[in-house]
Amino acid sequence: MSYPGYPPQSGGYPPQAGGYPSQPGAYPPQAGGYPPGQGGYPPAQGCYPPAAGGYPQQAGGYPPQAGGYPPAAGGYPPQASGYPPAAGGFPPQSGYQPQPGAGGYPSMPPTGEDWIFKPYSIHTISGCKDKSINEDKLSQQGYPGGPAPGQPMPNYPGAPSTNPSMPGYGGGAPSHPQAPAIPKGYRGSIKDFPGADPLRDVEVLRKAMKGFGTDENAIIELLGNRTNKQRVPMVAAYKTTYGKDLIHDLKSELTGNFENLVLSMLMSPAHFDASELREAIKGAGTDEACLIEILSSRSNAEIQEINRIYKAEYGKKLEDAISSDTSGHFRRLLISLSQGNRDERETVDISLAKQDAQKLYSAGENKVGTDESQFNAILCARSKPHLRAVFQEYQKMSGRDIEKSICREMSGNLESGMVAVVKCIRDTPTYFAERLHKAMKGAGTKDRTLIRVMVSRSEVDMLDIRQAYVRTYGKSLYTDISGDTSGDYKKLLLKLCGGSD
């Protein structure tokens, strides 16, 4: 059955009388059609291009005759009868008429794409990875050596007041906007499996678990080839299909680190982060490094979702849990990070970066004692591209890396927390490569850290972490995981790793 008019009947395609080619007024038109007659296109006198004296122009047009462009003797701007051209030239006489000053050079009409101003043609620092400040560009602005204690840096704003409130940031367009970083594309090691269906996938899981023994390889192959958004629906699909709880069945069939890894992969990222924060806080000790790792590396939206889930799952606000389990300036650091309220603008204003660098210097190295509140205000509220510029400016003005200054000025959990925030902001893949290396080196393996990083970064930047790992430690992440783990646990971790470098 064909749809009405498809293919069309009389008057359709090919058209009958009045169709294509069309009759008078149709396409191509006859008199009065297209191209139009008098007053149509090309237009009559006064339209574009004009008739008499149009394009190409007659005497006095473009290129102009004697006295046109290039101008006659007398130089630029041209004298009378210069550019704009004489009558009949461009621009046409009727229509848009620029209004030059006496003997001046008129501005062209602001129409068409050719006249659009390109905002990054001036003051743009191109090729800056991750929108950080180009070091070669900044290195042209050298600083003298650090001043004596108590003295402000030359050419820098004065030291901040004793009020630890956040310094002003923003307000208008940055003086040196940066070009956005070139998107690198997907940097995860796990990709969507084409045509994945949770109802078919749970059949594989059910078959792997029922009967005597468990087919761990089937579970590894399935979960290791599905992204998180393809794995999470399996929990509901399993209950819909079999009337049983998938998590409960997996717990009854699996053990040890392999069980923990499988269950972690079946949770949404925010649920997984909330559960890890809960584990880090509850009990006798606190895993401060886990708290800093999650809160310093997640986006505002992710942290706000973690807060929502934490309250729903555990009946307590994350901020309250942190407050009751930590103390002092370290507690302030964690609470600031847990707000999920960091500036996320991508542009960088160098003058503001210099001001913040001066404030950090005045709050630490250039002061007896340390104003921890100033460090907290800047490191927890500023955007990551801005902070990368601040760290470079700080190095230039003080002659010391910001991490070393923090180590000189602080101690304990606050020191390790501040340093971790700086590392994560400065180079996130290298930070996570270090976390993985520390989890595996030595006599024992910190399996919770290993699982958390491998699961949470497998669809974010695992390819970059692998590159940073081999660059920093001389061995591939794949090789170290293979040598430090075993069995089904190792097989599934290597799936998340994605390959050797």
Half-sphere exposure of 148 (CA within 13 A, CB side): 0
pLDDT band for 149, please (50, 70, 90 cuts).
Answer: low
CA 143 to chain centre: 31
Give the separation between CA 257 and CA 263, rounded to whole angstroms: 10
Q: Cβ of 155: how many Cβ atoms within 10 Å?
A: 11
Residue carrying the six token digits 């509220």: 381
pLDDT in the model for residue 443 = 81
Quickly state the pLDDT bin for 184 (edges 50, 70, 90): low
Query: Distances in Å between the alpha carbon of 87 and those of 81, 82, 105, 175, 317?
Result: 9, 11, 16, 44, 78
- Given a cut of 60, whether residue 99 has pLDDT beyond it is no
Cα diameter, the chain: 102
CB 191 within 8 A of CB 227: yes
Contacts of 81 (CB under 8 A, 6+ apart): 67, 68, 72
pLDDT digit string, tens, across residues 356-405: 999 999 998 877 778 999 999 999 999 999 999 999 999 999 999 999 99
Q: Is the pLDDT of residue 124 over 70?
A: no
Count of CB atoms situated within 10 Å of the CB of 459:
19
Q: Which two tokens stand for residue 49?
A: 């291009």
Token pair 């129409």: residue: 111
Q: What angle do CA 238, 242, 248 make, to 5 degrees?
A: 60
Q: Strand, helix or coil at 373?
A: helix
Is the dihedral angle over the CA atoms 79, 83, 84, 86 positive or is it negative? positive
Percent of the chain with pLDDT over 70: 63
The predicted structure's pLDDT at residue 148:
52
CA-angle at 424, arms to 423 and 427, nearest 5°: 80
Give residue 285's pLDDT: 84
- Nearest 5°: phi and psi at 68? -90, -140
For residue 433, pLDDT over 70 is answered with: yes
> Do 456 and 269 contact (CB within 8 A), yes or no?
yes
Segment 140-157 mean pLDDT: 48
- Of residues 151 and 112, more confidence is placed in 151
Query: Which of the listed CATH numbers 1.10.3330.10, 1.10.220.10, 3.40.630.40, 3.40.50.880 matches domain 350-426?
Result: 1.10.220.10
Q: For residue range 300-316, list pLDDT tens digits in order.
A: 999 999 999 999 999 99
* Greatest mean pLDDT range, 25-34, 182-191, 288-297, 368-377: 288-297
Cβ pair 389, 396 in contact under 8 A: no
- Report pLDDT for 212: 86
> Is the model's pLDDT at 217 over the cut of 50?
yes
**C-alpha pair distances (Å), 77 with each of 73, 105, 333, 402, 460:** 10, 6, 63, 55, 58
What percent of the chain shows pLDDT beyond 90?
Answer: 59
Is the fold of 198-254 the same as that of 428-497? Answer: yes
The third-level CATH classification (topology) of the domain covering 269-339 is Annexin V; domain 1 (1.10.220)
CA-to-CA distance for 501 and 498, rounded, in angstroms?
Answer: 10
The pLDDT, as a whole number, for residue 208 is 97
**The pLDDT of residue 120 is above 60:** no
In this predicted structure, the answer to whether residue 89 has a pLDDT above a threshold of 80 is no
d(CA 13, CA 298) in angstroms, rounded, equals 58
CATH of domain 428-497: 1.10.220.10
* Domains of the chain, residue spans: 198-254, 269-339, 350-426, 428-497
Q: Which amino acid is at 232?
A: V
Closest CA to 363 of 302, 324, 406: 406
pLDDT, tens digit (0-9, with 9 covering 90-100), for 241-294: 999 999 999 999 999 999 999 999 999 999 999 999 999 999 778 999 999 999
**Residue 486 vs residue 110, higher pLDDT:** 486
Rounded Cα–Cα distance for residues 352 and 359 (Å):
10
97: pLDDT strictly greater than 60: no
* 500 has a pLDDT exceeding 60: yes
The span from the CA of 114 to the CA of 91, in Å, is 16
Q: How confident is the model at residue 322 (pLDDT cuts 50, 70, 90)?
A: very high
Query: Would you state the structure tokens that stand for residue 229, as one six-digit string?
Result: 């958004």
Indicate the SS3 state at residue 56. Answer: coil
Phi, psi of 125 (to 5 degrees): -100, 105
Structure confidence by residue, pLDDT tens digits, 218-234? 999 999 999 999 999 99
Q: Which CATH architecture has domain 198-254?
A: Orthogonal Bundle (1.10)
The H or E element containing residue 139 is none
The type of residue at 428 is T
